[in-house]
Chain A
Amino acid sequence: MLSFLLHAKKISLLFLILSILAVVQSGCWDRVEIEDLGIVLGTGLDKGEDNQIRLIVQLAVPTEMGGGPQQVGRGKKPTFTVIGTGETVYDALVDVQRQFSDRIFFGHNRVLIIDEELAKEGIAEYIDFFVQHPQPRLRALVIVSKNAEEALKTETSKDLSSSQALEEIVQLLKSGIRVTLKDVFQMLRQEGESVVLPWVQASDNEGEQENVQVKGAAIFDGDQLIGTIDFELKKGLLWLRDEMDLQSISVNPEEADGYITFHLIRSKTNLLPSIEGGNWKITVEIEQENEIVENQTTLDTSTEKVQRELEKDLNKTVEQQIRKTLEKVQKEMKTDAFGFAEAFERKYPKRFAQEKDHWDEIYPEVEVEINVTSRIRRIGMTTNQVGKLPKEVKEE
């Protein structure tokens, strides 16, 4: 009994020593002080020479970004761009690391900008690194740009880095399609669906404030970029993808001169697929609520009749926007950027599996019916335009 106790004592002592050693010996090996981190804010992927990859990395210079003691800043630029080349993305990253003293840290990468040239050849193989490696976050936004390097090097007026500016434009203002790395993988996985990414450009006009701005959307077929559409066409895309937000719709009513502008409060789009014989059809049901923010006409918007008329005009305008986009994307580009494939697959899984191989042929022929239901929820503070005399206001 006593010897057993002694034994237990020895074991517990051994255990104590071992656990202390475990902490002391193994600890710290992956410890990095934050001042030794090269914090990546944005990444660009570009085509290099000889089929190589150019990795453009935008790093933060914390002391210039503020927050620390005042005397530290030296009035330099708040970001720092390093370019590396290699066969693969990681090769290029190692090249970047060679040129930079701090450990490159991808944990805070906010945007991934893909150059148009590279995107045309397909993005799947390059994006793989960003999932395989544990550091980059899947919530980073993916953007296509005409010139990735320029977009990253742009100095913006308010934000500290162009990455931050891009993230905020794309994410907070919601004026574009918001696609994260995670979304890209899901789109790539989805049979028949195309990737749609926001398309940005560094403003190149002479004399203009240097900035980055969203120009439209980049449409992919599979993982290859096949074209871009501008803002006007992008509206239709957003309606169909149920991503419409922060939208103004101006309507020119038949009964009066001038425009009435609506602000979109909320909208909901439903894609209802149906197959009748060999006839594939999508019914687009859109319900939207608007408020009047501007009235250039003489119409008295407080009357129900005018409102009904305006709602009809709204329906027509939205339908036109969608038709225009369909013309370009469905008929010309022949790529499914709207998720039609997914809609069909959900409703007719067996039929879709059979016809999967012919989807490319079916898609451009899919008939689209558009039903828009608009409602005017608020008419603003006045019922008619302030500048007009009451007698000028049309009485119905």
Chain B
Amino acid sequence: MPKPFKFLQQKKSLPPLLKEKDERPLSHSIEENEQTLQSIYAHCYDVVFRSFYIGGERKALLIYIEGLVDVSEMDDNMLSPLMEASALEFPEVVDLIEKKVSVGSVQEVNTFSDCISEVSSGNSLVLIDGTPKAISVGLTKWKSRSITESDAEVVVRGPREGFIEAIQVNTSMLRRRLRTPKLKLKTMEIGKYTKTQVILGYIEGIAQENLIKEVENRVQRIDVDGLIDSGELEEFIQDANYSPFPQVLSTERPDVVTANLLEGRVILIVDGSPFVLVMPVTFFSFLQIAEDYYARFMIGTLIRWLRYTFLFISLLLPSIYVALFTFHQEMIPTDLLISVASAREQTPFPALVEALLMEVTFEALREAGLRLPKQVGAAVSIVGALVIGEAAVQAGIVSSPMVIVVALTGIASFTIPRYPVSISIRVLRFPMIFLAGTLGLLGVIFGIIAIVIHLCTIRSFGVPYLSPLAPLHGDELKDVLIRAPWWTLNKRPRLTGERNTFRQSLHQQQSPEKRG
């Protein structure tokens, strides 16, 4: 790493933060246990300690966190049966629970640390006098957002539901789409304080073992105090962090995740984040959307090419404008040259400065429009359209062709369906403009070559970023350059689905049966 970036390097002597566990076992005396737990949960008003007697004789203690537990269910199915039961009838705790507690998810707990994690995740804990064991009863229920349509990935045709923050709801959406025990969802926990649940999902028999192992290893090695969103996790596990391009796909749509699982990819769901991570991915995954596959294949292909075209416009249009109008005037049609020259007659800045100025302004407008409360958002667009668009041109500060170029570039960048890549392209636009303004088209070509070389070097979990284009794999291009009809897409992508090559039987195009 070059010196200027040295501060980014981790110091090796950093002590491991976490994972000190209170492995003490529970004691036989319920008073002792209560004291210990009380001291652990000191100053936590939302943790409820409720003492009661089983069958009016044996002392028991119920601990739960208010707001995370379904209280009425707990009363009906646990508290009242236990209180009514005769303690002498059931000397063993296990018996008691098996016969009296009418709740599905019940678990025995032996240590304090397990107690804490059970209570923290919303289960109710029952301690009984005379046994060094506690019973965790899964009666969790808390408020969560209802399932709505994804805002970031809108489709005209296709399923509308999107993931939400609650991880159980998200996994249920996946399980509903993949009704097979082969869908594996392994749970992990990250964060000393947040104890965020992270679920690793894959389809057994399709996803490659070493890929699953690699993802699992990377996630498990993460040692942090808190994990809030899947975006954080993405940065911890992705391969080339110093690249402007994302190497992990994040999506809000369960249908996208399902399709990726079927192609042999691995997913990570983070509790509290509606964005599910999919890996490994290629550059082209970011330019394809679910609707390509739901629309008719010709339409899908055309839309895909529209997107590719506008990807280049978004990256190159301002730089080509600057390069042509400052270095290669002979390449512009005469009439256009004269009309632009006349528009630029009164503007004070060189084309390069003008382009940078306008692009920055546009980015600022976009960002402002995005962050402002919805009620104020309209004001921004008015200011943007009127002041920047019209007034600036009339005042002779910028030329109108430049405004057109910036507007076109802006529209082009919105046609890139995945936000992270759209941002990368926007960022790369600025060095490109600068190169165009200093070296002309030569600079633009340098820039393109540098970007292509960079894209060729990136790998996402072992998969080359530009595959199947580089390294070339002709057969797979039919899902990249075009969207081939479904009945020709017989194979899974080679690099992720090699274990289980065929996804469907051959010759699936159905037609009327031929009569003999």
Binding site for B on A (CB under 8 A): 9, 12-13, 16, 23-24, 26-28, 30-35, 37, 39, 41, 60, 62-69, 72, 105, 107-108, 110, 135, 137
Q: CA A65 – CA B339 in complex, angstroms?
A: 7
Given the interface pairs A23-B435, A28-B438, A108-B330, the reply to whether A62 lies near B394 with Cβ below 8 Å is no
Contact of B2 (CB < 8 Å), options: A9, A31, A62, A105: A9
B contact face: mostly helix, strand, loop, or mixed: helix
Minimum CB distance partner of B333 in chain A: A108
Contact of A32 (CB < 8 Å), options: B326, B339, B342: B326
Given the interface pairs A33-B351, A34-B325, the reply to whether A13 lies near B2 with Cβ below 8 Å is yes
- A16 and B2: CB pair below 8 A? yes
Number of interface residues of B (CB under 8 A): 33
- A37 and B341: CB pair below 8 A? yes
Q: CA A38 – CA B319 in complex, angstroms?
A: 24
- A34 and B344: CB pair below 8 A? yes
- A33 and B350: CB pair below 8 A? yes
- A69 and B393: CB pair below 8 A? yes
Q: CA A331 – CA B67 in complex, angstroms?
A: 112
Given the interface pairs A9-B2, A137-B330, the reply to whether A27 lies near B438 with Cβ below 8 Å is yes
Instruction: Enumerate chain B residues within 8 angstroms of A137, measured Cβ to Cβ.
Output: 330
- B339 and A67: CB pair below 8 A? yes
Given the interface pairs A41-B334, A65-B338, the reply to whether A30 lies near B345 with Cβ below 8 Å is no
Instruction: Enumerate chain A residues within 8 angstroms of B217, measured Cβ to Cβ.
Output: none
Which residues in window 316-336 of B have CB below 8 A to A?
325-327, 329-330, 334
CB distance from B54 to the nearest CB of A (A): 68
Given the interface pairs A9-B2, A12-B2, the reply to whether A39 lies near B439 with Cβ below 8 Å is no
List 9 interface pairs A-B (beta carbons < 8 Å), by A numbering: A27-B438, A33-B350, A34-B351, A37-B329, A60-B338, A62-B345, A67-B339, A69-B400, A135-B330
Given the interface pairs A13-B3, A69-B396, the reply to whether A62 lies near B330 with Cβ below 8 Å is no
Instruction: Enumerate chain B residues within 8 angstroms of A67, measured Cβ to Cβ.
Output: 338-340, 342-343
CB distance from B356 to the nearest CB of A (A): 14
Instruction: Enumerate chain A residues within 8 angstroms of B2, measured Cβ to Cβ.
Output: 9, 12-13, 16
Given the interface pairs A16-B2, A23-B439, A67-B343, the reply to whether A31 lies near B338 with Cβ below 8 Å is no
CB distance from B490 to the nearest CB of A (A): 46
- A69 and B343: CB pair below 8 A? yes
CB distance from B397 to the nearest CB of A (A): 12
- B438 and A24: CB pair below 8 A? yes
Contact of B327 (CB < 8 Å), options: A24, A26, A31, A68: A31
B280 at the A interface (CB under 8 A): no
Which residues in window 1-20 of B have CB below 8 A to A?
1-3
CB distance from A118 to the nearest CB of B (A): 26
Q: CA A110 – CA B338 in complex, angstroms?
A: 13
Minimum CB distance partner of B3 in chain A: A13
Given the interface pairs A69-B346, A107-B329, the reply to whether A34 lies near B439 with Cβ below 8 Å is no
CB distance from A155 to the nearest CB of B (A): 17
Minimum CB distance partner of A110 in chain B: B334
Contact of A62 (CB < 8 Å), options: B3, B329, B338, B439: B338
Instruction: Enumerate chain A residues within 8 angstroms of B334, measured Cβ to Cβ.
Output: 39, 41, 108, 110
Central interface residue in A13, A35, A107, by most chain B CB within 10 Å: A35
Q: CA A296 – CA B165 in complex, angstroms?
A: 88
CB distance from A349 to the nearest CB of B (A): 39
B240 at the A interface (CB under 8 A): no
Q: Which 5 A-B pairs have the closest CB atoms?
A: A27-B438, A67-B339, A107-B330, A68-B342, A62-B342
Instruction: Enumerate chain B residues within 8 angstroms of A108, measured Cβ to Cβ.
Output: 329-330, 334, 337
B443 at the A interface (CB under 8 A): yes
Q: CA A41 – CA B334 in complex, angstroms?
A: 9
CB distance from B103 to the nearest CB of A (A): 60
CB distance from B447 to the nearest CB of A (A): 10
Instruction: Enumerate chain B residues within 8 angstroms of A72, measured Cβ to Cβ.
Output: 342, 345-346
- B327 and A34: CB pair below 8 A? no
- B326 and A62: CB pair below 8 A? no
